[in-house]
């Protein structure tokens, strides 16, 4: 399986369990690794035979900016579901970063990583 990666997609969302997170929102960063067979696209040099990562990026940002959820686990699942709607994508790894999580001690980042496939 080949991999197409998108790293550092940024969007503002209103996800979290605390009222301040829902009201003010915060930046979320998403990394994706899409698993697919790129041989047909490479052989024909045809975009229609691979995944259009620009469209995937726009769709992922729309998910982050969309309906709020309490957990980044739920957000990651919704992102994975959206990616798997693309016919050629057989597997996706999603990393959701929440660098401004409401934690009372110094930290760099909070992430959830999930892998989902059609199987």
pLDDT digits (tens, 9 = 90+) for 66-100: 999 999 999 999 999 999 999 999 999 999 999 99
Structure tokens belonging to residue 16: 């979290």
Is residue 33 predicted with pLDDT exceeding 90? yes
What CATH number is given for 1-115 in this structure? Answer: 3.30.1130.10
Task: Taking the CA atoms of 6, 10, 13 and 16 in sequence, report the sign of the dihedral they define.
Answer: positive
Is the confidence at residue 60, as pLDDT, over 90?
yes
Look up residue 65 and give its two tokens.
């900016």
Residue range 12-24: mean pLDDT, rounded:
97
Average pLDDT, rounded, for the chain:
97
Q: Give the pLDDT of residue 102.
A: 95
Catalytic residues: 98
Domain ranges of the chain: 1-115
Q: What local confidence, expressed as pLDDT, does residue 89 receive?
A: 98
């Amino acid at each position: 399986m080949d991999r197409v990666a998108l790293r550092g997609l940024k969007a503002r969302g209103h996800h979290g369990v605390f009222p301040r997170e829902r009201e003010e929102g915060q930046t979320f960063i998403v990394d994706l690794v899409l698993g697919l067979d790129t041989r047909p696209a490479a052989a024909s040099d045809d975009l229609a035979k691979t995944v259009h990562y620009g469209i995937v990026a726009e769709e992922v940002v729309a998910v982050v900016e969309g309906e709020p959820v309490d957990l980044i686990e739920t957000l990651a699942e919704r992102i994975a579901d959206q990616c798997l709607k693309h016919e050629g994508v057989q597997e996706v790894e999603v990393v959701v970063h929440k660098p401004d999580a409401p934690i009372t001690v110094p930290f760099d980042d909070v992430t959830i990583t999930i892998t989902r496939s059609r199987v």
